[in-house]
Structure formats: C-alpha cells, structure tokens
Amino acid sequence: MSPNEWIALGLIGGFLVLMMLGIPVAIALAVSGFVAGYIGFGDLLFSLLPARLFGVVTNYTMLAIPLFVFMGVMLEKSRVAEDMLETIGRAMGGLNGGMGIAIILVGVLMGASTGIVGATVVTVAMLTLPTLMRRGYKPSIACGTICASGTLGQIIPPSLVLILLSEIVGESVGTLFAAAFIPGLALALIYVLYLLVLGKLRPEWVPAIPAEERARHPKGTLGRDLLRSVLPPLLLVIAVLGSIIGGIAAPTEAASMGALGSMIIALVARRFSWPLLRDTLHGTLTITAMVFFILLCAQPFSLAFRGLGGEQMVHDLFGLLPGGELGALLFLMAVLFVLGFFLEWIEISYIALPMFLPVFHAYGTDMVWLATLVAMNLQMSFLTPPFGWALFFLKGVAPPGITTKDIYAGALPFVLLQMAAVALVFLFPGIATWLPKAIGW
C-alpha cells in the first residue's frame, strides 16, 4: 500500500475514533478530513475546497429542502396531524389492530407531507401512546408501530433522503420520487398486514376500541370529519408529488407550492397565526441548518478521501468479492445496514455511499434501483438499536410505564419487515423502476 492509502485508512479510523469520543458528527467529519487532507496533499486542499462548498450552497435542487421542511413543520404545528389521527382512528377502531393501522395510515400521510421523522414520532406518540396503553395494547407493539409509522417519511416522497440521494447518484429528484413511491406504499401495506395478522392471532395484544367508546361520537359525523381533516392534506400531497412526478413542476417549484398550500390549510382550519408562523420558521431554520452544516462538513472528508486514492482502494476491495455485481450489491447492503446502527443517514449517504458508487457505475448498475434500495436501507437506521433516532424520539415523550426494552423489542419486528421489503425490491427491481419508465423519466 502507498503512503496516501495508509493516510486514507487513517482518515476513516480518525473519524470513527472522534465519533466514539462523543464529538458531533459534523465536526468529526471536518476535522478528520482537514487533518488527513493536509497531511496527504498540503495546501492544495484549501485551494480545492471553496469550489466544493460553493457548489453545495448554490445547488438549486437543494432549495427544495427548506421548502419541504417548512411544509411539514407547518402541518405538524398547526395540529393537522392530530385531526387526521383522531378521525382515521375512529374509522378503523372497530377492528382488532385498527388503531395501529390508523397510526400507519397517518404515518403515510404525514410522511408524504412532512418527511420529518422526529415530528411524526413525537406527535403520534403524544397523541396515541397513553390511549393505546389504556385500551390494552401490548406496550412493545404500540411502541414499534409508532416508530415504524414515523420512519415512512424517509422513503415515501417527498423525502429529504431522496433529495440528497438524487444529488449523489446523479438522477433527477422526480425520478427517485417516482421510483420510491410504490416501494413506500408497499412497505406501509406490509405493516398493515402484520397488524391484521396480529389482530387475528393475538387479539388481546391489539384490541379494538370498545363499542361504548365508539358510540360516544354522533352517527353520520365520521364522513364529514374525514373530508375535513384528511382530504386537504391528501390533496396537497397529490398536488405536490403529482406535479413533480408528472414533470409539470421542478422539485423546488413544487416545494414552494407545498409550503404555500400548508399555510392555506392552516388558514382554512382557523389555526394560522403569527406565533404559528414564527415557530414554523424557527423549526425550519433549525432543521435546514443542521442538514446543510453536515453537508458542508462532509466536503473536506470526501475531497480528502478521493484525493488520497480511497476510491481505488474501495474498487480493489470490491474486486476481491465473489459474485460480481450481485456480490457487490449484497456487500453494500450489509455495510449500510451495519453503519445504520451507529451513524445517521446523512453521514452514511455522504461518506460511505460515494466511496462505493464508482464500482456500480463500472458494473452498469441501474442507479434508480440502487438509490431506492439504499433509501430503504437507510430508513432502517432510524429503527435499529442502539442509536435509532425514532427510538430516541419515542423514549423522550413516552409515559413512565414504557421502558427502553419495550421500545427496542417493539422495533425489531418492524426492522425484519423492512428487511423483507428491501429483499422484495432487490429480487424484483421492477417495483422501483416501473413507474419512472411508465411516465417517461
């Protein structure tokens, strides 16, 4: 091995050591990248870096991130999600597992309108977890359902994961949105089927809402409430995603329409106010700043790794694997899954994935299919102990009777269901590639 290759290995090792010491991920990325890059090629690093940073902050597609975040935060803070959850829960309440299914359905709508895991998990947990416990749901099942519902926003468009992956793999945002749409809905369907099976086999774990409780609501109001609370956000999602996937609007333009539409929904619901707008803008700024700070700090790391010959090292490593392209894909999925136990999806996307991509470009792998597999794999990182963010969010708002063991035990079945969904897309690539091809992307 050449001296630069040893430095590249030291770059990765230094980053992992800093992470283990508790250094924030963004700082660990920047420090390890600057140190290794300066040792490897000196002042040249500082000459190359400004262009990379400028490219990130001036990327037009990235403008969609704060706009989509604004749309999601506005719908969350205006309590639209609360209305949806209560109404859908009433509609499904007479079924064993019905309340859990309602949570999954709300997760689909929230994921398609917010894409923010923390907002969905915290909102749904605060609204439903005490009620589920009171109605006799098994704690682990209730916790797992809430966490899994919150992670659907990472695969169902519009998703921040897909927006960033589009930049990394070189495909349009609309193409990846179209590719992830069917797999995302299929995953939600798998969750629903799991809860239905539990309702049949273990009805005491997921009991229906008692008839006397359902009778408290006047008959004939359910349909009106569904139209009032579910239809507006559903129409907004259809308008935003339909305009992107159909090629009518660019992602940034559609995101602008979504941000405006979320304010109109809050206004129609008589919830819009200046304090609400102020809180929404503050939340949007916080989330967007976090995302862009990590992206900027990842640039010296990736620049140093590439300049030190790290890509060639990875290419040589994949050349040693048996099975050619299939073996390389399985190895990539395994590596991403393991990294998901310890790292956030942004670091995995901008650190690990670019290392491996040249190998798959050489194989001629379909980048749309690969990006969909990666997005579904990264989604699992929100549920995998010990550092699954959805688990942390739930623990932060869970009532005293809910233990960490309940949360971890409840997440594991849904991790297995997500693995099954990844396997389906792996074995049948058409699940991801059919819709983009059908609409001519």
Nearest Cα neighbor of 390 from 117, 88, 77, 198 is 117
pLDDT in tens, 43-60: 777 787 888 788 777 877
Separation between Cα atoms, residue 137 and residue 195, nearest integer Å: 12
Go through 65-84 and write b for each residue having 16 or more CB atoms within 10 A of its CB, e for each that does not.
Answer: bbbbbbbbbbbbbbbbbbbb
349: CB partners within 8 A, 6+ apart: 161, 164, 165, 168, 374, 378
Nearest Cα neighbor of 208 from 366, 89, 372 is 89
* pTM: predicted TM-score of the whole model, two decimal places: 0.78
Separation between Cα atoms, residue 249 and residue 260, nearest integer Å: 15
Separation between Cα atoms, residue 378 and residue 360, nearest integer Å: 18
Does pLDDT of 420 surpass 90? Answer: yes
Mean pLDDT within 133-147: 87
pLDDT in tens, 69-107: 888 788 778 877 777 777 777 777 678 888 888 888 888
CB 142 within 8 A of CB 133: yes
Question: Following DSSP, what letter does each residue of 342-369 receive, concatenated?
Answer: TS-HHHIIIIIHHHHHHHHHHHT--HHH
pLDDT confidence of 243, banded at 50, 70, 90? confident
- Domain range for residue 231? 3-438
Does pLDDT of 228 surpass 90? Answer: no
For residue 394, the Cα-to-chain-centroid distance in whole angstroms is: 16
User: Number of folded domains in the chain?
Assistant: 1
